[in-house]
Structure 1
Amino acid sequence: MSTGVPGIVISPYDPRWPEEFEAVRQRIVGALGELAVRVEHIGSTSVPGLAAKDVIDIQVSVADLDDARIPDAFARLGATPTSIVADHVPPGDTHGNEGWRKLYFRPPTSWRPTHLHVRAVGSPNERYALLFRDYLRAAPAAAAAYAQVKTALARLHPDDAEAYYDVKDPVCDLIMEAAERWAADRHHRPGSR
């Protein structure tokens, strides 16, 4: 059963999400070739058991965000660029806005709902997405608490994405504090298997 009304809807985990990611990943790899250093399933749909919006988040890591071939490659997929140019910058971050810069593309309407994030290899926002995912995969209690926050926010602000993210982003930053300690204790590199 979904929570919320049209707008922001949080659904129970769907075991088909990894397969749906893989189908989109193959398209991206086919279109981008060596431009895509890595293509990762990120976000809540990448965490087994985690309730999420039914949108597959994909991170395409590239060597250079300014490579002029990137927009052309996404255009071959039928994806269109948007005006989104950066991620939320966590409090206390010292990288400046450049470290959180990204490209964001909308997939063709024929695709399942997908977010296409393009980030530079080694950038703080690339690392953030991977570490967040890795930690929630390893910490079911944190993932369950995060699901409760998202479900409540969707219920309270189903048609107000700004209010939803005004609360959700700082919650993610709090989770990242625990994720950083977890990674340091285990000598974990984000995105490693």
Structure 2
Amino acid sequence: MPFPDERQQAEVIDYQPQWPTEFARLAGQLSEALDGRSAAIDHVGSTSVAGLPAKDCIDVQIRVESLDEVKDVTLLAALGFRCRPEPWNRSEVSAGVHCRKLVFAPPAGARPCNVHLRESDGQNARYALLFRDFLRADELSRRAWGTFKRRLATSVPDLMAYGQIKAPATDILMAAAESWAADSGWSAV
């Protein structure tokens, strides 16, 4: 759920070539704030896939050995990041497995982003990487996913409704991604 200063509408735009650079800038800030606590900082979500239309919101995944809610919130709050309070931003189900997470919004007025803290060995961390890597590798799926997201955002511009409708379609996409992973020998390294 967006904070009052964030966009409330789902708007999908063409891929922007500056997204990787903007991710790198965010990753540098976050790495410094976490002071070696992260195992990896990944560019995930649609903005991490060249050529894929997306909402202009960078998704960052920070993989940590173990979530420490008090410490993690404190470290990121020092940079102005705001922990999203909704229950669905504290846990998620990936491939039938309940996983812990924390999601942060950017400081008020900063570049739109979502920062996802996930445990390195969590199914949800793997899921985010598989989503990205599958869409990078499979042009047909990338084009179809982009077309679907554009049409959905046009017909359902409310951000919350957009996300709720997109979730079951994501499950279908990820079934194809799992087949691709098995066939190609992909692993979340």
Calculate the TM-score normalised by the size of structure 1: 0.87
Give me the whole-angstrom Cα distance separating, in 2, the residues matched to 1:166 and 1:23.
30
Matched residue, 1:134 = 133
Matched residue, 1:123 = 122
Give me the whole-angstrom Cα distance separating, in 1, the residues matched to 2:185 and 2:69.
32
Matched residue, 1:103 = 102
Give me the whole-angstrom Cα distance separating, in 2, the residues matched to 1:186 and 1:50.
22
One-letter amino acid of the structure 2 residue matched with residue 65 of structure 1:
L
1:67 Cα deviation from its structure 2 partner: 5.4
Give me the whole-angstrom Cα distance separating, in 1, the residues matched to 2:68 and 2:25.
27
Give me the whole-angstrom Cα distance separating, in 1, the residues matched to 2:52 and 2:10.
16
- Structure 2 counterpart of 1:180, from 159, 178, 181: 178
Asked if structure 2 preserves the Cα contact closer than 8 Å seen for 1:35 and 1:70, the reply is: no
1:49 Cα deviation from its structure 2 partner: 0.3
Give me the whole-angstrom Cα distance separating, in 2, the residues matched to 1:20 and 1:184.
32
Give me the whole-angstrom Cα distance separating, in 2, the residues matched to 1:82 and 1:162.
14
1:166 Cα deviation from its structure 2 partner: 2.4
Matched residue, 1:51 = 53
One-letter amino acid of the structure 2 residue matched with residue 108 of structure 1:
P
One-letter amino acid of the structure 1 residue matched with residue 170 of structure 2:
C
One-letter amino acid of the structure 2 residue matched with residue 128 of structure 1:
Y
1:122 Cα deviation from its structure 2 partner: 1.1
Structure 1 residues 68 and 10: alpha-carbon distance in aligned structure 2, compared to 1, 3 A threshold: same
Matched residue, 2:113 = 114
Matched residue, 2:147 = 148
Matched residue, 2:36 = 34
Decide which structure has greater strand share: 2
Give me the whole-angstrom Cα distance separating, in 1, the residues matched to 2:120 and 2:8.
35
Q: Deviations over 1:24-63 (max 9, x none)?
A: 0000001102211110000000000000000000001111
1:71 Cα deviation from its structure 2 partner: 1.4
Q: Deviations over 1:120-145 (max 9, x none)?
A: 11111111100000000001110110
Give me the whole-angstrom Cα distance separating, in 1, the residues matched to 2:8 and 2:34.
33
Matched residue, 1:169 = 167
Matched residue, 1:73 = 75
Is 2:91 the counterpart of 1:86?
A: yes
Q: Structure 2: which 5+ residue stretches go unaligned? A: 1-6
One-letter amino acid of the structure 1 residue matched with residue 132 of structure 2:
R
One-letter amino acid of the structure 2 residue matched with residue 73 of structure 1:
L
One-letter amino acid of the structure 1 residue matched with residue 83 of structure 2:
P
Using the TM superposition, name which of 32-41 and 101-110 deviates more.
101-110
